[in-house]
Amino acid sequence: MFPISLRQLQVFESVARHLSHSRAAAELYLSQPAVSMQIKQAENAVGLPLFEQIGKKIFLTEAGREMLHYSRSILQLVNEMESVFDEMKGLERGHLNISVVSTANYFMPQLLAKFIQAHPNIQVSLSVANRDAVIRQLAENIADLAIMGQPPEGTDMRADAFMQNPLVVIAAPTHPLAKSSKIQPNQLAKETFLLRERGSGTRGVVERFFAGHHLSLPTHMEMDTNEAIKQSVQASMGIGIISRHGIEMELETKRLLVLDVDHFPIVRHWYIVHRKDKRSSTAALEFERFLLAESQSMEEGIVSN
């Protein structure tokens, strides 16, 4: 086996991630023939095929899966080395790949815009996905850090709380409970709820809330996104429990309201999550400091509203 170049590893990792030569070419600003050539050279170096084609789709071979593991580890070390040397030179630059759960996307774009304005030499990429996909991106070293409300269990991830995440009960302005105060859990149990799918963080909070008051889970419909819950609540199909951060626009336009329910809001937290075995780059550390500084003003804004 002769040496594999760093460029070949970068091209291979991109193709393996996208399972597409064309997408990798677009990401790396290369022509598709150039990508194919790099993959062919990497396969010649290894002496084994890294991909197999079935119909019009390509898949990783067993050797390809092993190659992906090592290429990501090598590229991570190279990025860490560049970050360390840039820091020693007093330079503020680098790449930052952030993955966030869909609910966090209600406030992350504003924060990112402010961060990029203050740190123009740091290139930031944002991925929005469901919780399982975000955790997978962390595990596969695609994301440098993630923002989520329910950090994964286990010892290979580190989670640091940086901002409160108040969960509130929402309803349409015409709902019979709209003008009620100190609504009790047994009153809520008679309503139809619009809930996230099993396994979601918010769904777990709702289940624990009713179980804690010795009540069965109310009649409910399952929705796979928070947007679907908001739209259905607006249509008077039922009530929902959702992050206060995700309904600012609907509250301002009076399309939704927050019910005055006893024991609410239930305050959880947003977390910065990253792998314990991954050395944080200068850009990642700066972004974490930025989030901690900005979170206080955001929480004050929520309270004042």
- Please tell me whether residues 259 and 180 are part of one structural domain: yes
Alpha carbon distances (Å) from 28 to 78, 174, 194, 225: 17, 52, 42, 32
Do residue 219 and residue 257 come from a single domain?
yes
As a whole number, the mean pLDDT across the chain is 86
Residue finishing a domain among 15, 38, 73: 73
In a domain, 84, yes or no: no
| Residue burial 178-188, b: 16+ Cβ < 10 Å; e: rest | eeeeebebeeb
Question: Is the same domain home to 155 and 274?
Answer: yes
Same domain as 214, residue 129: no
Residue 135 lies in a domain: yes
Give the structural domain span for 182.
165-267
User: Could you tell me if residue 79 is inside a domain?
Assistant: no
In angstroms, the Cα distances linking 16 to 70, 152, 294 are 12, 25, 36
* Mean pLDDT computed over 202-212: 87
Q: What is the structure's pLDDT at 250?
A: 92
CATH number of 59's domain: 1.10.10.10
One domain for residues 257 and 274: no
Which band of pLDDT confidence, cut at 50, 70 and 90, is reported for residue 304? Answer: very low
Same domain, 45 and 181: no
Length of the chain: 305
Q: Give the model's confidence band at 93: pLDDT under 50 very low, under 70 low, under 90 confident, else very high.
A: low
Q: Are 201 and 284 in the same domain? A: no
Q: Do both 61 and 155 map to the same domain?
A: no
- The pTM (predicted TM-score) of the whole model is 0.65
d(CA 14, CA 23): 8
Residue 83 lies in a domain: no
pLDDT of residue 48: 92
Six token digits for residue 291: 């989030």
Q: Are residues 60 and 100 in the same domain?
A: no
DSSP 223-279: ESSHHHHHHHHHTTS-EEEEEGGG-HHHHHTTS-EE--BTT-SEEEEEEEEEETTSP
Which of these, 155, 67, 137, 148, lies nearest to 108 by C-alpha position?
Answer: 148
In a domain, 151, yes or no: yes
Does 200 map to a domain?
A: yes
66 in a structural domain: yes
CATH of the domain at 126: 3.40.190.10
pLDDT tens figures, 21-69: 999 999 998 999 999 999 999 999 999 999 999 988 999 999 999 999 9
Tell me, yes or no, whether 85 lies in a domain: no
Tell me, yes or no, whether 255 and 298 share the same domain. Answer: no
188 with 252, same domain: the answer is yes
What's the pLDDT tens digit per position in 104-158? 888 888 889 999 988 888 888 898 888 888 888 888 888 889 998 888 877 788 8
Return the bridge partners of 266, or none: 167
pLDDT above 70 for 166: yes
What is the average per-residue pLDDT within 287-302? 74
- Total of domains in the chain: 3
Mark whether 203 and 258 lie in a shared domain.
yes
